[in-house]
Amino acid sequence: MREKATGYINAPSFHETEPNVTVHSGELAILRCTIENLGPKTVSWRKLGPNYLLTIGDMVYMSSHKIDIQHKRDWKGLNHWNLIIKRVAPDDAGLYECQVSSAQQLVYYVQLNVLDSPPEPSAGTIHYISGAFLVMTANTGLTLEGRNIVNFNEPINLTCLVRGENRAPEDVDWFFNGIKIVSGSSRWRNRVYITRERETYKKEFKSQLLIDNSNFSDTGVFVCRASADLVKSIAVSVLEAPSLKPKKNRDVTGNNKIAVYGIFQYGIQYSHAVTTLKVGWKFENNAYGTGDLE
């Protein structure tokens, strides 16, 4: 549910996010608002009905610690201003408005629905079969996926998926070499983006860690932790990017315009105990030459 401003070049506009959010009482609710071309304009959240202001920019206008604002700018240039409501209660249900300060009205609506608290989690579901009890454990767990090796300046992209038994987990924490990753810290600022998606009906929580322009200091162990029992780690190495530059051979044609057409020989330079590659290239006059990769 959104209204767009018109008549402006590169005017702010909303990207579609979930317009209906449903959580159980006591859980965490995230109301998402994603804006393109925000520029210097300010984003505010309010709840309709009572029509009271909740946030303006990073400022929270509620004395309760239940309300928080999560702001980040991702690698695509999109601004995410997400309203966080902790320990949701039935009276938190209703229609919320994300508004961009503009000469024309520019708002995005999100409906929050609050259900009764689910039953307490149990170790498993017990079934009675042929006079014996059979305990069926739930499909719970945590998976952490991503590339173990990336080249210098390439992004590091890790995905953590957590499955709950009776409900979706509320959040996860990311760590690097034992230290919690905070996107606003001096080490990670403007380089780290963490997304969080909670799928209530699937009982899943998915978080993506993206690190732009990786460097050698990013080599280490990354950890995703949902709880004391749900933790996974992955070791990532950042390597120097390979370089393929054939030597120019003036003896063949006197012409430096070359085009590498393939690697045709692999050899070992035993005297120096290093590996070299031979390549061939084709000149404009159809002559061929060879050389070592530098």
95-134 confidence digits (pLDDT tens): 999 999 877 778 999 999 999 865 444 433 333 333 333 3
Consecutive H or E run containing 251: helix 250-253
Amino acid at the residue 103: A
Class of domain 142-239: mainly beta
Q: What is the pLDDT of residues 184-241, one digit of tens each?
A: 888 898 888 888 888 877 788 889 898 988 999 999 999 999 887 789 999 999 999 8
Q: What is the pLDDT, as a whole number, of residue 245?
A: 55
Q: Please give the distance of CA 199 from its chain centroid, rounded to a whole number.
A: 15
Angle, alpha carbons 210-183-187 (nearest 5°): 95
Third-level CATH fold of 13-115: Immunoglobulin-like (2.60.40)
Other residues' Cβ atoms within 10 Å of the Cβ of residue 214: 20
- The pLDDT > 90 percentage for the chain reads 26
Query: CATH 2.60.40.10 in the chain, residues?
Result: 13-115, 142-239
